[in-house]
Chains A and B, each alone.
Chain A
């Protein structure tokens, strides 16, 4: 079986890897690169717990094959904060109590980053529609919604060129 040599940028770091075609992106990120913040849950693309950004697009790491990341950039939850400085979405989640067990949280935050990147000031309905595929069993979604709306307000209030 032929393996695929690839270069991928993960959270800003370049990696040269050789992967079998059947390796999933979550296996690559967790087992090869030690990025345990990418969580595995339903494994059928429904819950969104494994959401990572592939060239800024949200994808299910459980079902996307690892080689599809070749020549592209992947961003996981570990790549969001800058040292001790949390990303505004992370800050908003903490302030609004938008997490409890935390298992859905990395995927939820990555999906939020993708949403705000695409739609800087979403309405509540737009948030619900976009985030429909990210399941939380603990919070009831209310505080997550508040955190997302707050984060989007703060981020669009920030000066241009922050590029996060």
Chain B
């Protein structure tokens, strides 16, 4: 059962930041609560003070700004799953969001909440990194933008300072002749392995390859050494490179053995999902009209 706490409902980012600064470790941002309230009910954490960010106008919403997707941190997974702009221009993101947890968590849980809770077994943080997404972080009086990858410091730990909030996730479009794909695997409630790719083709060659792995290690991250194996290769000759990239990414993912499986198996799955996500992305490029 939840222990009592105070609730503040700021109507601006500055006010929210001030509240966080004032209460320090005793305060926490509260958006959908699907992770936070759960952890508090289980007695794993307790905050005397919750700062509701849903009362801050403009923190939720989807905008397409010259091809770049701007996502308010307090946008729900369900809104992303169903948004026409996301579905049309960033279909891999919409598909990933449609598979987060279950429909009730998606209705209430927010993208920002998911990213900031930094539960390792999660989906959005992995896929968004292959878009070179950035995170806008604000506090009273200032703002900064960082690559999304930099948000994640460790399990349940982000780089946010005590008085900072994540306000927006900015997702640039992929170049033309590109597609992204995200595949996950697991047999428990939360995913065990998640692999995201973004592929750009240019005249039959791999112009760019971006790979991110999540759920396996402490944080989701880009696998740049693996990406290098694929860049420049003719698209018809990526078989061996994908296998190598899979091995590199699997090892780099820092897998641990737990309920989800052994480290060895997870590493293996990284390679399998990488190859399948790659094929899916190529099929999406081939299937879409040439731009």
* B-binding residues in A (CB < 8 A): 1-2, 4, 20-24, 43-46, 48, 51, 54, 57-60, 62-65, 67, 111, 114, 129-130, 132-134
Query: Which residues of chain B are near A20, meaning CB under 8 Å?
Result: 4
Partner pick for A133 among B50, B103, B108, CB 8 A cutoff: B103
Cβ-defined partner of B7 (8 Å) among A4, A24, A48, A114: A4
Query: Which residues from A are CB-within-8-Å of B50?
Result: 21
Residue interface bits B60-88, CB-to-A below 8 A is 1, else 0 = 00000000000000000010000000000
CB-contacts of B155-201 with A (<8 A):
189
Please tell me if B6 contacts chain A, counting CB pairs below 8 Å: yes
> Which residues of B are found within 8 Å of A130, using beta-carbon distances?
103
Residues of B participating in the A interface, judged by any CB pair closer than 8 Å: 2-7, 33-34, 37-38, 41-42, 50, 78, 98, 101-105, 107-108, 189
- A44 lies within 8 A of B38 (CB): yes
Q: Are B108 and A64 in contact (CB under 8 A)?
A: yes
The 9 lowest CB-CB distance pairs between A and B, nearest first, are: A133-B102, A21-B7, A22-B2, A60-B104, A57-B107, A22-B4, A63-B37, A58-B104, A1-B4
CB distance from B102 to the nearest CB of A (A): 2
Chain B min CB distance to A99 (Å): 20
B190 CB to nearest A CB, Å: 10
Say whether A133 contacts B4, CB under 8 Å: no
Q: Are B107 and A58 in contact (CB under 8 A)?
A: yes
Contact A45 B2 (CB under 8 A): no
- Docked Cα-Cα span, A7 to B50, in Å, equals 22
In the bound complex, what is the Cα–Cα distance between A45 and B42 (angstroms)? 12
Nearest-CB residue, chain B, relative to A131 = B103
**How far is A23 from B4 in the complex, measured between Cα atoms in Å?**
8
Q: How far is the CB of A53 from chain B (nearest CB, A)?
A: 10
Q: A45-B38, A133-B104 are in contact. Are A63 and B7 (CB under 8 A)?
A: no
How far, in whole Å, are A4 and B108 apart by their CA atoms in the complex?
A: 20
Contact B33 A64 (CB under 8 A): yes
Closest to B36 in A: A63
Q: Given the interface contacts A4-B7, A20-B4, A22-B4, does A63 sit within 8 Å of B41 by beta carbon?
A: yes
Q: Given the complex of chains A and B, what is the CA–CA distance between A43 and B124 in angstroms? A: 24
Task: Report the Cα distance A90→B78, complex, angstroms.
Answer: 26
Which residues of chain A are within 8 angstroms of B7 by Cβ–Cβ distance? 2, 4, 21, 67
Supposing A1-B6, A21-B6 touch, asked if A46 and B33 sit within 8 A by C-beta, the answer is no
Given contacts A2-B7, A44-B41, A132-B102, 9 further A-B contacts (CB under 8 A): A1-B4, A2-B6, A21-B4, A21-B7, A24-B41, A58-B103, A130-B103, A132-B103, A134-B102
Q: Which residues of B contact A133 (CB under 8 A)?
A: 101-105
Contact check, A21 vs B5: say whether CB atoms are below 8 A apart.
yes
A44, A57, A67 interface centre (most CB from chain B within 10 Å): A57
B195 to chain A, nearest CB (A): 21
* 10 pairs of residues in contact across A and B, judged by CB atoms under 8 Å: A1-B5, A21-B50, A22-B3, A43-B41, A44-B42, A59-B107, A63-B34, A111-B104, A133-B103, A133-B105
Once A22-B3, A48-B102 are accepted as A-B contacts, the answer to whether A65 and B41 lie under 8 Å apart by CB is no
Q: How far apart are B4's CB and chain A's nearest CB, in angstroms?
A: 5
Complex Cα–Cα for A6 and B50 (A): 18
Determine the distance from Cα of A22 to Cα of B41 in the docked complex, in whole angstroms: 10
Q: B33 contacts A65, CB within 8 Å?
A: yes
B37 contacts which of A48, A57, A65, A134 (Cβ < 8 Å)? Answer: A65
B2-A48 in contact (CB<8A): no
Complex CA distance for A23 and B101, rounded to whole angstroms: 24
Instruction: Determine how close the nearest CB of chain B comes to the CB of A24; give it in whole angstroms.
Output: 7
Q: In the bound complex, how far is the Cα of B7 from the Cα of A1, in angstroms?
A: 9
Q: Nearest chain B CB to A23's CB is how many angstroms away?
A: 8
